Amino acid sequence: MATEQVGTHEAKTRLSEYVNRVHYRGDRIVIERHGKPVAALVSVEDLARLEESSSGSVEQRYRKALEKAGIEISYPDPDKQIPRKRHLIKLEGKPLSEQIIEDRR
């Protein structure tokens, strides 16, 4: 499995070749504009693994952190009507946005 960097013009003119290389050989093609990566061609299998690992793990960490803090998460029953009036929820500790920023560091 090889990774190759190509410019946008080259990617456009040789797209069919690159798609075949990604599909049959598992290559990864990084497309650059002015020397900076802007996109990548990867196999559907690689994309599925990437989506699976990125979405599940972060969500699971946040769920565990909320459970550890004693905050229960529940989702509304889709068959029930959601009340129009909203109630404020008071939470203690750091704002969620700060926790997310710290987690990204």
Read off the pLDDT of each residue in 29-52 and give the average, rounded to a whole number.
90
- Is the residue at 36 inside a domain? yes
| Residue closest to 71 by CA, chosen among 52, 55, 49, 94 | 94
pTM: 0.51
What pLDDT does 55 receive?
A: 59
Strand order in the sheet with 28-33: 3-7, 28-33, 36-41
- Is the residue at 22 inside a domain? yes
User: What is the count of structural domains for the chain?
Assistant: 1
Residue 54, pLDDT above cutoff 70: no
| Residue closest to 72 by CA, chosen among 99, 95, 55, 91 | 91
CATH of the domain at 16: 3.40.1620.10
What pLDDT does 97 receive?
A: 81
Pull the structure tokens for residue 72. 């229960």
- Is the residue at 90 inside a domain? no
More confident residue, 10 or 88: 10
Sequence-distant (6+) residues with CB within 8 A of 26 are 1, 43, 46
What pLDDT does 104 receive?
A: 82
**Residue 30: domain span:** 3-42
